[in-house]
Structure 1
Amino acid sequence: MTKKFQQWAYALAAGVIALTMCFSISACSSDNDDNNGGDGISPVLFSDFNGTIGVNYPLGFTGQFVGFSIPKSMAGKEVDLTKPGEWTAGGSVVKGLYNYDEHFFQKGSYVYLRQTGEHEIELRFKFIWKDGTKEGSYKGRMTTQKDALDWAHKQGLY
């Protein structure tokens, strides 16, 4: 479990760097034109390591985020969060990251993630828990951890 925590801590740190980058440049991924400065920075952070893919997805400018990771073999498939599996899901909206053993999510909860291009992903999620429901989707540009760290090095932040 410690290794998984370290991986998420690294992903969250890179997510903070990615969000910092978004706020420090004049154009974010909200413009869908071809003139986005060539930096390719997006506040949506995607990771792919050790057979697991994951995403940190900010919910607009609310300060909240959703994050989840799934086995790479489940990419492009809806992952039922009420069934056993090697997934982790949550974020600030549910006040933590959870796995199946914690039985946090209720029937109807799922995540979906797939990479559609070199720097593009599609994600969907629906979290149902005892205190509420949150769902959303995104299809567009993403930043990899490597992109975020490379940018931070260039800016002298890391």
Structure 2
Amino acid sequence: MPKKIHFFAGIFATATIGVFFLSTALVELFGSHEEMAAVKRLIVMPGLFLLVPALAATGGSGFFLSKSRCGRLVDAKKKRMPFIAANGMLVLLPCAIVLNRWASAGSFDAAFYYVQAIELLAGATNLVLMGLNIRDGLKLSGKLRPD
């Protein structure tokens, strides 16, 4: 059961961050300020209330599963997780909240776009790291051939 929880929660969390990233980039390129405010509002509510439990389930089940495993792939996943968590809690979460507040107030100034750039860079970083963890997890489970 923990394997299934880990798999589905990890895929859901990664897909959710991907949707946040893609929707932000698309509305930034093609949308209006009102649409940007709507995207930022939806990312915070209900987005974060879906994402945070999925990330917690992924981390908790991964920690549980790693107790009985060892090796290069497990070690690589363990090394990535603190950075993914710190990036999410210390960069992405505050950026999402601040950008939502600024967008809802119509404050689309240089500070908004600076924080937006930080959020996109941090989001892309987490997507890459989470993708690497998914790849390594698939190798560990035998669903993907090892190198």
TM-score range, shorter chain: 0.3 to 0.5
Structure having the higher Rg? 2
Task: Output the TM-score relative to the length of structure 2.
Answer: 0.33
Q: Which one has the bigger helix percentage?
A: 2
Bigger relative contact order, structure 1 or 2 (CA pairs below 8 A, ≥6 apart): 2
Task: Output the TM-score relative to the length of structure 1.
Answer: 0.31
Q: Which one has the bigger strand percentage?
A: 1
